[in-house]
Chain A
Amino acid sequence: MLATVVAVALGTFVFHRYAAERGDAIGRARAEQAARWLLTHGPAGVDDLRRSGTVRLAGVAFDAPPPGSRYPYLRRPIWLAHTEPGKVEAALSRDDPAEKAAADALVQDELVRLPDGGYRAAAGERLGGGERRAAFVELAPPPRVEVPWPGLAMAMLAALVFWWDLARREPASRSRPVVGALTVSVGVLGLLAPRLLAVDRLEVPASVGSADVTGTAMLLAGVVLAPLALVAGAGWRHGSRPSPHRVAYAYIGPALLGLGVLVLVPFLYGVALAFTRASHGEVVWVGLSNFVDILSSAGRSLTEPLSFYFTLVVTLLWTLANVVLHTGIGLGLALILKEPTLRFKGVYRVLLIIPWAVPSYITALVWKGMFNQQYGLVNHLLAGVGVAPVAWFSEFWTAFTANVVTNTWLGFPFMMVVSLGALQSIPSDLYEAASVDGASKWQQFRHITMPLLRPALVPAIILGSVWTFNMFNIIYLVSGGQPNHSTDILITQAYRFAFEQDRYGYAAAYSVLIFFILVIWSFFTQRFTRSEEA
């Protein structure tokens, strides 16, 4: 354990050094880049930079030896542009340090880190005829985040030790209370140490802190695991052995914490958003009015494409069509493929599984191309049998069909694999016995296959229906809701409200309704499957 502490401390130190170095490098590189950019863009570039607000100061200078002067070194930079008005005059009177920087840059490139953490870079070049040009920029210090790295690292370590000990819970381990007390104190000390010792607060430039892998990992693991350690540690105070329940919680803890932070919290936040009018960062509490608007289909007749009920019917139709096709095709193929004597079975199975392995957005985009009116393959095939080209996405039913075809291609392999697995687990002697008793193929299917398939198939169908109900990619990418949003399903409609119209609150209310529909649906199916089992 001491070794781990040392390793963590060392790692933290190394990381801090590395982050500081890298932050410095990033700052320098940016400043240098800006200076060089400015050198090529001249006075216009200064205006650009001023408008963009990315730099604190910027200026370009240009100088030439006084014409006909016998003293060419007696010259001063002629300021051409500066981000701060008035600086041009100041520079002319040579009392501005920035001007000096630019002047220095005429001799050599310069890059300095300013005391407040900002960076100044200057770049210069010599033109012909003794003329010189220089540019300089000053960048404000990059935003920094303060992170108590060592504390988090210690807390994380403590949490890990706890978790490990709890998860093992070997009956032989007698040192548990000692280990527990030790790790708790290490964790607490780790969290307090930076404050107590007032050591370097380990500031890290934000650009590094957020992008750097190790750092963020440590931060998050610490945040997630530290509470776990405290909860687990509380048990040891009483000197009690951890109960079996606590062992179970230790195993579930990490997953549940992750789900809580990244699924439950956003979900609750989203639900809260449903009671607001939120757009462009402004949030106003509006109570139930979003729901009222949606459910009363305000401003639209019920049968119009953008009304909630129209979209709901389309969604249900879409789900039903897909589930029936997926299950039908999948089960049909599985019934054929389970035949032990069939040749090339493995080859077919491999080929038929391909759509599952292709990412759905690729499938969607390819099929969208295939349904294109001009160059699409489907119309070419139809032309082969003498059908005039169809404008697939200009009418509801054709667009809907295109969506369903795409999603069927994508979805049947899952059902096939599930059915195949279930079929293979049915003992073959059942069929032998049945055929000895003279049962027909249909009777065998009806009385052996179906009942034994059900426990595997029903959950798969329920899950499949939920996935299809929320199948965003296909609708959004294939028909895109055309024509006139009529083929949109609830989830794509909600997405449009949120990201195309900036009506976050309304979209959230839409999503909450989707969620409720699915919960009701699963409630019914649960009862259905439970009564099946009973």
Chain B
Amino acid sequence: MARLDHAFKHVFLVVFSVATLFPALWVVKMAFRADQSFATSMNPLPTEFDLSNFAALFGDALFGRQLLNSLFVAALTTAVGVFLACTAAYAFSRFRFPGRRAGLMFLLVTQMFPGTLMTIPLYSLMEMLGLLDALLGLVLVYSTTAIPFCIYMLKGYFDTIPRELEESAIMDGAGPFTLFWRIILPLSRPAIAVTALFSFMTAWNEYILAATFMGDEQAYTLPVKVQSFVGDYTTEWGYFAAGALIVSVPVMALFFALQKHLVGGLTAGSVKG
């Protein structure tokens, strides 16, 4: 009975996994084909191993530059985002102060601001600050879009850390910073890793703002470049797929490295809190 039950579940899971993998394998297949058309055979597995798409991409001097741009923006966004999210989440979790509820509410409300409403004013703001075409402008915008969600997640996690630990430290004369630095942060590594992952993804994957703010090809990030292979009438599927693979692989690697924490980090707060 149990065996039958498991077999049934395996069938279900295999069907879903195949459905999940199919489009992804498609991209891999097209990336390793010398052809720029869309692959139409039914077999999603790569049938050839041709690196010409990658060679063409990396042969373009601009592409390397754009890859570096993306890396720089994503890395800095992660650093800024994690720093801001950790400190704010700590305050929201451990202090009771006037404006706390309003602050939390504000964070939630920012998630509802429609992107279209923000694009034009942000453009003006960036122009005013002289940050159009500057990677730093993107870093600033991305780190602020990522943090509300990160703060919520971290706050939930911080809430689950028992206060007794801090109380004994306070007895020993520790101030808020010691508590934050020596107790809260080390205990929250999984949640911080997930926060970092989300910040990284926000910056690494974002396309619309980057396309709007970056007029100079030198300043493009990878998503803008990859998207440029898809035209209204013709699409260079080979280049697109190769670019898509280059963009997706780092994120996937991070995902798989962190997936154990992902499950815990994302929900710990909301379940127990």
Contacts and interface: CB of A to CB of B under 8 A. Distances in A.
23 contacts: A171-B175, A206-B130, A213-B135, A220-B136, A244-B97, A249-B91, A254-B88, A255-B151, A259-B144, A263-B110, A266-B121, A348-B13, A357-B255, A359-B205, A359-B244, A361-B205, A362-B27, A365-B240, A376-B38, A409-B20, A421-B266, A422-B270, A466-B112
Contact of B97 (A171, A206, A248, A421): A248
A265 B121 contact: yes
Contact of A220 (B119, B140, B248, B267): B140
B112 A256 contact: no
Contacts of A13: none
A210 B27 contact: no
Nearest to A508: B117
A511 B122 CA distance: 15
Interface string A192-229: 00000000000000100111010011001000000000
B42 A421 contact: no
A251 B88 contact: yes
Contacts, number: 296
Given A167-B177, A258-B144, A470 B115 contact: yes
Nearest to B249: A357
Contacts of A460: 270
Contacts of A514: 114, 117
Interface residues of A, number: 110
A341 B16 CA distance: 20
B57 interface: no
Contact of A336 (B9, B38, B252): B9
Interface in B116-158: 116-122, 124-125, 129-136, 140-141, 143-145, 147-149, 151
Given A252-B92, A266-B122, A366-B27, A421 B267 contact: yes
A436 interface: no
A245 B144 contact: no
A370 B23 contact: yes
A425 B267 contact: yes
Contact of A365 (B84, B98, B230, B270): B230
Interface in A486-534: 490-491, 494-495, 498, 504, 507-508, 510-512, 514-515, 518-519, 522
A517 B91 CA distance: 30
B207 A210 contact: no
A504 B116 CA distance: 10
A376 B235 CA distance: 13
A336 B150 CA distance: 29
Contacts of A299: none
Nearest to A493: B116
B143 to A, nearest CB: 7
A518 B112 CA distance: 6
A364 to B, nearest CB: 10
A369 B39 CA distance: 10
A117 interface: no
B24 A358 contact: yes
A145 B130 contact: yes
B16 A352 contact: yes
A6 interface: no
